[in-house]
Structure 1
Amino acid sequence: MKNTNCAGVTRRDCLQLGLATFFGGALASALRASDSGAPQAAAKSVILIWMDGGPTHFETFDPKPDAPAEYRGDFKTVATKTPGVFFSEHMKKLAAMSDKLSIVRSIRHDQGNHGAGNHYMMTGAPPRIPVGCGAFVSFHPSLGSVVAHEKPAPAGLPAYFSLPSMSRSGGPNFLGAKYAPFVVDGDPNAAGFRVRDVALPSGMTEGRFADRTDVRAEVDRFQRFLDKTAGDPAVAMDDHYKQAAELMHSKEAQAAFEINREPEKVRDQYGRNGFGQRALLARRLVEAGVPFVTINDGGWDHHSDLFNALTKRLPSWDQTVSALIADLDQRGLLESTMVIALGEFGRTPKISTLSGQTKAGRDHWANAMSVLFAGGKSPGGQIIGATDKNGFAAVERVLSPENFASTIYTKLGIDPNKMLYTPQGRPTHIVSNGTPIKELMG
């Protein structure tokens, strides 16, 4: 089943769009970095759970039980392990481990449609021009692409993965195709799941693979973030070919994807569904040394039927995310791995019914949103910032997408104030205001 938002953009559609602007000769020359010193790294990896469509803050991490009925909604609350802090009732497992979580309730911005909001939160840079709700835009490298540029993965593995598709603003922009995500588009919960491109073509030995002059034809099937019709991708294709060959020879890559080696008990804990098994696959990837993994989790655009949809969805989502955090912790990986969950914005305080729809929902709302942080030496058991009593806006410790992006970079040891240069020599800050969220620094 495809997850769409109100603009009708599916996750697979993202892979089919032209991306010529991302190439633009970006691989023709190396980027030059500023001389500013990098901060000391607190984390090595990020698992970013992208809740595409814009999750409601009311029904997740910022409930308003004392608000009027038309604001508070149908769900009750659940007490967390942190005294005086409550989550929405379907977040029971995460509530029970709130001592490992930091919830930021006060990020806000001014981009209230999917295209613009996605770009702002996924890059830390606002769109340069107004864009439509259904737009797939890139004015700045994404978080994952910058991390891949600054933090290479072990030999044979890409540094940036996106499962099962790339988010609409998750590309590399001027950094070029080399720093685009490796997309794993299958369902890890399916019987016989196998990731393409991490094994030699059927019937071909390593010797034959190394010797063939027409080997490019054999790796044409290699599925990555590359559109052959976009501009002149000759240089990008060289990197495309090189990485295909490396993956096909990489025992590390092959081992990371062998999810069927996980004990059945572990797989069950994550949830035997696509989202659950992608979270488990993400854990295996960071365990192998991959610095950035995005789980593109669509279907959070609930303009209608909000409460029925989330009653069905949230318990399994809660199970998966809590299992991921607990598993990382048990394996000694949580301290070096940030787990982050968010979307492009929150939802309107007042419950609405759109024209022609009978079941109530909430609409787009950029004045308030909640973001979950765990791991990476982030202090647990804290709520950062607050919205007003009815959830209209962030009013206490108000933070920006730039603060969010700067936090990720700083905790990974990347200076958010660092200057990158486009192939044309134009200087570009990684983040225009590189101030991290101090409460998450540890």
Structure 2
Amino acid sequence: MTRKIKISRRETLQAGAISLLGLNLASLSTLKSLSAAEESHADKGAGQYRSCIFIFLFGGPSQLDLWDMKPDAPAEIRGEFQPVATNVPGIQLCEHLPLMAREMDKFCLLRSMTHKMNVHGPACSEIYSGREYFGPPVTDQAKPEDWPSLSSMVTRFGQSHDGLPPAAVLPWYSQFVGQDKRIAGQTGGRMGENWNPFLIQGDMSKSDFEVQGMQLPVDVTANRFARRADLWSRLNELAPPKIASAAPSVRLDKNYDTAWQLIRNAADSNAFSINREPEPLRERYGKTKFGQSLLMARRLVENGIPLVTVNWDDDSKFDKVSPHWDTHHDNFKKLKDGLCPVFDRAYSALIADLADRGLLESTLVVALGEFGRTPRIGLVTQNGMTEPTGRDHWPHAFTALLAGGGVRGGQVYGATNKTAGYVDDKPVTPADLSATILHHLGIDPHLTYYDEFQQVERQLSIGSIVTDLG
């Protein structure tokens, strides 16, 4: 016997709405977090500044070889590189970061980052979320009980401007090649996946790059899209009041309203149109995925998006032993020939560009990895594939770069011992860093959310705001 299924008029309208507006399911899924963000509760009095660019150097860069060099240490500790002077007397950087050396007066070397986790995924989670990992470090990959990321917290509690999202992530969610899921701690997790940040995925260095979901189909003009939105609104009025006011119906309506606002405002502001940037400026950042991602990040904060996370990505992802900044072998060659030139060019261009536009004072720029590297070359602490030419994972002391947002440039904050292996002064934890970023964005770190996994209220951050950076 064939069972008849009754479909209401409301359900019929909802089913046809995607094609009616010229959108697709992928676009709508991406936009869910934006409509959710309309329910934000920003504490407008808590912070003075409005934007943050959070640069995540996936893999964990070597503090000893880049920005906390120990030239008087034994050769097996200090490594092959030489320190060079910067434009700030008394502060030195690696010889392979010459452009950054010229901008040292604009950023701070926070040399006292520290935590205890030496496994990639859980350590990444601690940096992204500001919380100690919740269980044994048996996987790198995301789990439903992950702590919510900073970008998800800002999506929920931050303020959106002109219909743009409060938080965006680009050019991808960090993930190891060969693993099924993204790295832990990058989305809403136990706060709810509906608070995931807006993901801008792809290689922005390509000439045909477009943000998915921001362009109408070729046969749908702006006027036609507006007429379809108006028709959707009229048809919506036909639904019985009980159905129209139901939570799923209200949420769907919000999704479509957000889709319309985002497409309209994106077109008006050209926030996502990186190809509008002058070619000399694009060259200044470097025509790499990372360089153009930083340029896009500048465009987004310039147009009012409070938090933009830029995850490092490059072709070394296919190296099974030493992807990205995870230099288990050929540490010095990989830094000198591949990693340093790209980062040096892009980071220095971003800092100078923000300063030139008068945006550096209002934009906090944070750059760090999930941990540092071992003081002794070839020492195995976690990964048995570490070779005599590499450095293994080391979470006990590493460096974060901070610029803008009231942070005084040209300073070193905190200190490590003679081998850069342990913090001697002013330790800063991932929790402290998350509290500081939230405060900067005007979000009270003591606000709470409901933990769907353990069914309790949780503070956004349990860290202490670092108050003496100015």
Is TM more than 0.5 here?
A: yes
Please show how residues 94-173 of structure 1 align to structure 2 within 5 Å: 94-137=100-143, 138-167=145-174, 168=183, 169-173=185-189
Please show how residues 49-68 of structure 1 align to structure 2 within 5 Å: 49-68=55-74
Q: Taking structure 1 as the reference length, what is the TM-score of the superposition?
A: 0.82
Q: Which residue matches 1:90?
A: 96
Structure 1 pair 208–40 and aligned structure 2 pair: CA distance change class (3 A): same
Q: Quick one: which amino acid aligns to residue 193 of structure 1? A: F
- 8 Å CA contact 1:141–1:173 kept in 2: the answer is yes
Counterpart among 439, 445, 456 of residue 426 in structure 1 = 456
Following TM superposition, the consecutive aligned residue runs of length 4 or more in structure 1 with deviations greater than 4 angstroms are 29-33, 210-213, 233-242, 353-359, 422-425
Q: Deviations over 1:275-294 (max 9, x none)?
A: 11111111000010000111
In structure 2, C-alpha distance between the alignment counterparts of 1:166 and 1:64, rounded to whole Å: 34
Q: Deviations over 1:317-371 (max 9, x none)?
A: 1111011010000001011001110011111111117767766111111101100
In structure 1, C-alpha distance between the alignment counterparts of 2:53 and 2:256, rounded to whole Å: 27
Q: Taking structure 2 as the reference length, what is the TM-score of the superposition?
A: 0.77
- 8 Å CA contact 1:162–1:182 kept in 2: the answer is yes
- 8 Å CA contact 1:198–1:250 kept in 2: the answer is no
Structure 1 pair 32–81 and aligned structure 2 pair: CA distance change class (3 A): closer
3-state SS of paired residue (1:308): helix
In structure 2, C-alpha distance between the alignment counterparts of 1:337 and 1:123, rounded to whole Å: 20
- 8 Å CA contact 2:40–2:159 kept in 1: the answer is no
Shift of 1:314: 0.3
Q: Which residue matches 2:18?
A: none
3-state SS of paired residue (2:335): helix
Unaligned runs of 5+ in 1: 1-22, 217-232
Q: Does 1:193 align with 2:223?
A: no
In structure 2, C-alpha distance between the alignment counterparts of 1:68 and 1:189, rounded to whole Å: 41
Shift of 1:379: 1.1
Q: Which residue matches 1:314?
A: 340
In structure 2, C-alpha distance between the alignment counterparts of 1:97 and 1:194, rounded to whole Å: 31
Structure 1 pair 325–134 and aligned structure 2 pair: CA distance change class (3 A): same
Q: Which residue matches 2:402?
A: 373
- 8 Å CA contact 1:115–1:132 kept in 2: the answer is no
Q: Which residue matches 1:228?
A: none
Shift of 1:86: 1.4
Shift of 1:392: 1.4
- 8 Å CA contact 2:112–2:425 kept in 1: the answer is yes
Between Structure 1 and Structure 2, how many residues are aligned? 399
In structure 1, C-alpha distance between the alignment counterparts of 2:445 and 2:122, rounded to whole Å: 21
Please show how residues 404-423 of structure 1 align to structure 2 within 5 Å: 404-422=433-451
Q: Quick one: which amino acid aligns to residue 432 of structure 1? A: I
Structure 1 pair 425–357 and aligned structure 2 pair: CA distance change class (3 A): closer
3-state SS of paired residue (2:297): helix
Larger proportion of helix = 2
Q: Which residue matches 1:79?
A: 85
Please show how residues 5-84 of structure 1 align to structure 2 within 5 Å: 40-84=46-90
Q: Which residue matches 1:391?
A: 420
Structure 1 pair 236–74 and aligned structure 2 pair: CA distance change class (3 A): farther
Q: Which residue matches 1:382?
A: 411
In structure 1, C-alpha distance between the alignment counterparts of 2:264 and 2:190, rounded to whole Å: 29
Q: Which residue matches 2:287?
A: 272
Identity %: 39
Shift of 1:38: 6.3
Comparing 341-350 and 353-362, the one that deviates more: 353-362
Larger radius of gyration: 2
